[in-house]
Amino acid sequence: MNWECIMDYKRIYKDIVDKAQMRTFQVGVYTEKHHITPKSLGGKDRKANLVSLTAREHFICHLLLVKMQVKGSPSYFKMVKAFFMMSRVASPLQERSISSRSYFSLKEAFSEACRIQSCGERNSQYGRKRSEASKAKTRETLLRFYLENPSAGKDHAATRAASGKTPRKRKCPPLSTEHRAKISLAAKRKWKDPSYQKRHADSMYKVYHTKD
């Protein structure tokens, strides 16, 4: 019997929320705030749209929100991403698990959601072109690396040829500590720029508030 066809996920979700709204927790009991209508689906960050749930209830509600959406729709991908974000926690108070079959299905949907929301104009690198100076610097770095490690390219090509795999582009050498520090400093300066913060916020708003 296909239980997916006969289970009323909206009713189950509503029952959990209704019971939680009528309940009062004792002091010290661990709870998590949940948006009844998710913010990415138009829900507001207001008291009427918030409810306190146990960690288990919160997990179940987000899984139900996934199943309530039409597969392949923008809202479905948003709920899949939200579910995986809340599942990737390290706190012992938030230990959660799902069956391997459900994980496989949702992992595929999550991968598709990431692909759709990062293609075309939504990709952070869309329309960007590298300057000639940047290209020259990359060439110089790679040349220096292979001059200092003459066997690197040959060993890599020989290994792939022996395994029967087709050649692929070589990866850049590991970044030096100085280079990493420069990247970190540049990123911190960028995030302190109000104009960049606004552009980032506008970009995230477009991603998570697109019409279904």
Where are the chain's structural domains? Answer: 3-121, 132-195
CB 93 within 8 A of CB 30: yes
Give the pair of three-digit tokens for residue 172.
Answer: 């850049």
Structure tokens at 21: 């709204």
If one compares 78 and 2, the residue with the highest pLDDT of the two is 78
The predicted-structure confidence for 95-126, as pLDDT tens digits, reads as follows: 555 665 666 666 677 777 777 767 777 676 77
Residue 175 φ/ψ, nearest 5 degrees: -75, 145
Q: Using the CB atoms, write b or e for 63-84: b if 16+ within 10 Å.
A: bbbbbebeeeebbbbbbbbbbb
pLDDT of residue 159: 58
Distance CA 40, CA 210 (A): 9
Going by pLDDT thresholds of 50, 70 and 90, the confidence category of residue 2 is very low
Cα–Cα distance measured from residue 180 to residue 100, given in angstroms and rounded to the nearest whole number: 38
Q: What is the pLDDT of residue 154?
A: 61
